[in-house]
Structure 1
Amino acid sequence: MFGDKMIRYANQFTRAVAVASLCLATMAVKADEIAIGASLPLSGSLAGFGAYQKWGYETAVNDINKAGGIKIGTTQYKVKLVIRDDKTDPNVTASNTETLISRDGVAGMLGSCTPALVNAGALVAERRRVPLVSGCNPLGAFRAIRQWKYAWVLFFDEADLGNAPFRMLADYQLQTNKKVSILSDNGPDGRVVGGEIWPRAVSKGGYSLVGQNAFPIDAQQFTTMISQAKADGADIALVDAIPPQAIAMRKQMESADFHPRLLVMEKGAEPEQFAKALGKLADGVLVGGYWDPSFPYPGAAELGKRFESEAHQTQSQHIADSYAAAQVLLDAIAQAGSLDHEKINQAIGKTNKSYVVGPVKFEADHTSRIPVAVMQWQNGKAVTVWPQDKANGKLLFPLPTAH
């Protein structure tokens, strides 16, 4: 009897939540607004990424609203972007996504940053059958979770990223002793890039892997593995770590007098906070990239200028994939001519258009690949140094010393 009552209450509660969610979505329409949501790392270790994404998402929404909004039927609606801080915590990302869907009644979601956060939100959106579009999530880590139906990602593929330094070495015929040391965190992308892709690229390129170390994502002391890389005579150091760890590691390399000829620091060396924290120590550090205002994509140059003018910071590639992800979602809502999640999702799948990051067309696995470039920090700016046809600066090689 008690079990039967609980089942009835549970069913009633489920129906009530569904009705409430529908009412919230309807309220957004009645108020001449369409709500879309985003859970972003505005605090915590990935706040540097979240700030760029916030600007990209907000700018895309502001632009469409300035143009009149989105027309559904005979009515023109303004778009309301609801952002919640996930504090760089996957559990909070999941909770925020649930809240944005059930309480805020969003028509669609925009993703967070890095596999741990994007995938956490995508799994909730998938369960709730609400479309989610994101950048900032390497494609292999996204594909590895499941066969997606409602989540879509436009970004680079880890295999392209891992092979890029070796292709650059070959293209420029750079001379090293071919000894490579890998230092990567044990997060999702660190395991893929540092544990699988880089070792394969080392072997394929005819290089010698003299050291391979993994560390927790919250580690702060790297002196032992740095000393080992130095003792092994590694001319090439490949690092995958989030910004605080990458910054600490670069400082500890200098303290240990370890000066590889080529230093790649994936993930952690992307945001401007890396260069600001390190000053001259950032010069010469390489990081995989996919966008620069100089690339021949529609609106690229203008977007970079707008960000630097408004934020008074050096532009980051993350303003581009976030701006494009928002545009893809907004275009899909317009194409669907409806707030129905299924119709919006189907429209996303039909995307075939050039955006600020280049052509976007989703494959059957819900990914759209952005070609990889190699960036290098030079005097506080990220300069594209490879491939040669996209380079807007000259490669610093070998890695400069700070003194």
Structure 2
Amino acid sequence: MESGTTRRDLLRLGISLTAAAPILSACGGLGSDQNTKNTQKSSLKIGFVSPRTGPAAGFGEPDAYVLDLAKKAFQPGLNIGGTQYDVQILDRDSQSNPQRSAQVANDLINGDQVDLMLTTSTPETVNPVSDACEAAGVPCVSTVVPWEAWYFGRGAKETDQNAYKFTYHFCFGVEQFHNMYTHEWPQVPTNKKVGVMWPNDSDGNAIRAALGPLLKQSGYTIVDPGAYTDGTNDFSAQIAKFKAENCEIFNTFPIPPDFATFWRQAAQQGYKPKICQVAKTGLFPSQIEALGPIGIGIAGGAYWAPTYPYKSSFTGVDSKALGDGYQATGKQWNQQLGPSLALFDVAAAALKKTSNPKDKQGVADAIKTLDVETPIGRLQWGKGPNANVVTTPILGGQWIKSTDPKYKVEFVLVENSSDPNVPTAAKLQEYRA
């Protein structure tokens, strides 16, 4: 009897394997391919895009700290529908540039194949990232862009109530600014004439279209020398007009370098309003310190502070601990800490709400009805101005000389009408620098 496997046996085996190949392939192969598929299925990727460098770099100052908190919270993974998922966060610098923002977003979508995108801070970063995700069918959550600049700035119409299928947003808007200004400004007696410097960009155009009429209805006279181009280096004409019109209130929504240029020129040319109200800049200690003495007394908006009585539902960190923890690194608290961490609260809640977090449409649908606690307060989609947006408060504050010898300046809250749960610490004082 012939022992072993004959050539004929091998041929028969080869024929059998060939015939069985389509069946094996359909069933996941002999095992290795199936294992690869299971490995892929148990891994989730979250993209995070923000301005770490460039004109809006102040917003990205606390990114490393927030990302570390999020990564630690995700370290055990997420158990969803009986499957354990490892979670990877891929963070990218937009460089404060719209083209770069679109590029890194598309790289994360097409190259890294992220399951969910998070993005924050100014339309120059957030809008291109949101557009890339909407086009690719990738769920995206964004913040820290006035919602009108995000919603209408991307092409939605006033009549649209559900303009986007994959992109969702939480932030303050024109109504919140109007409410804050009309409660804060009366704390200093003025002639109610407001010199405005609103740029020709998504923020400036949204503010001009909506905030201007609201302020007029509230009895303020708007002196608008017209939209200017980002990057302008000579504001002599605007300053001359504000002086000629005796504008005792000044309001602007510029990129940070533009305000620094304007405010130094205003000081040199003798324009000193009783109230200097800024937005999009003057948010962080580093920006005010860079101005020197003329930074003291500038009023700004606050979308988070360590005194907010709320906490992150995902990490369990409350606002006081968030601020204290960041200051333990040697840096002064930065209000971007709150909304950036809130993005990860939303991400975790949305992923856990789905039966299959790899289903991008399913994740987007989960965000549409999400209700989640964050350091900036409770976010409830479905109760905002449209299906894609949740509005959040913005409170009034003012920069003063720091009472803590470790720091040069500090930001004190002077107005809380949008959220009375947050305590105020002072009244607005006339600008005197």
- Report the TM range for the smaller structure's normalisation: 0.7 to 0.9
Alignment match, 1:248: 261
Instruction: Give the Cα separation in 2 of the matches to 1:382 and 1:27.
Output: 51
Instruction: Give the Cα separation in 1 of the matches to 2:100 and 2:416.
Output: 38
| TM-superposition CA deviations, 1:267-302 (whole Å, max 9, x none) | 111133211201322111111222111121121111
Instruction: Give the Cα separation in 2 of the matches to 1:27 and 1:104.
Output: 16
The answer on whether the counterparts of 1:112 and 1:121 sit within 8 Å (CA) in structure 2 is no
Alignment match, 1:323: 341
Quote the offset at 1:329 in angstroms.
Answer: 1.1
Instruction: Select the structure of larger CA radius of gyration.
Output: 2
Pair 1:202 & 2:220 matched: no
Local SS of the residue matching 1:376: strand
| TM-superposition CA deviations, 1:338-369 (whole Å, max 9, x none) | 22212221222221122111010113421111
| TM-superposition CA deviations, 1:70-114 (whole Å, max 9, x none) | 113444333211112222111221121111111112110011321
CA RMSD of aligned residues (A): 2.2
Alignment match, 1:351: 370
The answer on whether the counterparts of 1:241 and 1:266 sit within 8 Å (CA) in structure 2 is yes
What are the ranges of 5 or more consecutive residues in structure 1 without an aligned counterpart? Answer: 1-22
Alignment match, 2:52: 42
| TM-score (norm. length: structure 2) | 0.80
Alignment match, 1:93: 101
| TM-superposition CA deviations, 1:207-239 (whole Å, max 9, x none) | 222443321111122122112211221111111
Pair 1:381 & 2:413 matched: no
The answer on whether the counterparts of 1:184 and 1:239 sit within 8 Å (CA) in structure 2 is yes
The residue type paired with residue 66 of structure 2 is G
Quote the offset at 1:27 in angstroms.
Answer: 7.2
Pair 1:213 & 2:221 matched: no
* Equivalent residues in 2 for 1:4-403, closer than 5 Å: 29-30=39-40, 33-65=43-75, 68-144=76-152, 145=154, 146=156, 147-170=163-186, 172=187, 174-193=188-207, 195-298=208-311, 299-310=318-329, 312-338=330-356, 339-363=358-382, 364-379=386-401, 380-387=409-416, 389=420, 390-401=422-433
The residue type paired with residue 370 of structure 1 is T
The residue type paired with residue 426 of structure 2 is K
Quote the offset at 1:151 in angstroms.
Answer: 0.6
The answer on whether the counterparts of 2:254 and 2:280 sit within 8 Å (CA) in structure 1 is yes
The answer on whether the counterparts of 2:308 and 2:375 sit within 8 Å (CA) in structure 1 is no
Instruction: Give the Cα separation in 1 of the matches to 2:37 and 2:66.
Output: 26
Aligned length: 371
The residue type paired with residue 148 of structure 1 is Y
The answer on whether the counterparts of 2:416 and 2:424 sit within 8 Å (CA) in structure 1 is no
Local SS of the residue matching 2:373: strand
Instruction: Give the Cα separation in 1 of the matches to 2:348 and 2:275.
Output: 41
Moved more, 355-364 or 31-40: 31-40
Instruction: Give the Cα separation in 1 of the matches to 2:355 and 2:230.
Output: 44
Instruction: Give the Cα separation in 2 of the matches to 1:210 and 1:124.
Output: 37
The residue type paired with residue 129 of structure 1 is G
The answer on whether the counterparts of 1:163 and 1:198 sit within 8 Å (CA) in structure 2 is no
Instruction: Give the Cα separation in 1 of the matches to 2:192 and 2:149.
Output: 28
The residue type paired with residue 387 of structure 2 is D
Higher helix share: 1
| TM-superposition CA deviations, 1:140-193 (whole Å, max 9, x none) | 1222133111111111112321342122234x3x31122221112111111221
Instruction: Give the Cα separation in 2 of the matches to 1:28 and 1:178.
Output: 65
The residue type paired with residue 432 of structure 2 is P
Q: 1:58 to 1:219 in 2, by over 3 A?
A: farther
Local SS of the residue matching 1:152: strand
Instruction: Give the Cα separation in 2 of the matches to 1:160 and 1:33.
Output: 39
Alignment match, 1:14: none
The answer on whether the counterparts of 2:183 and 2:415 sit within 8 Å (CA) in structure 1 is no
The residue type paired with residue 118 of structure 2 is L
Instruction: Give the Cα separation in 2 of the matches to 1:62 and 1:108.
Output: 18
Instruction: Give the Cα separation in 2 of the matches to 1:79 and 1:357.
Output: 24
Quote the offset at 1:55 in angstroms.
Answer: 3.6
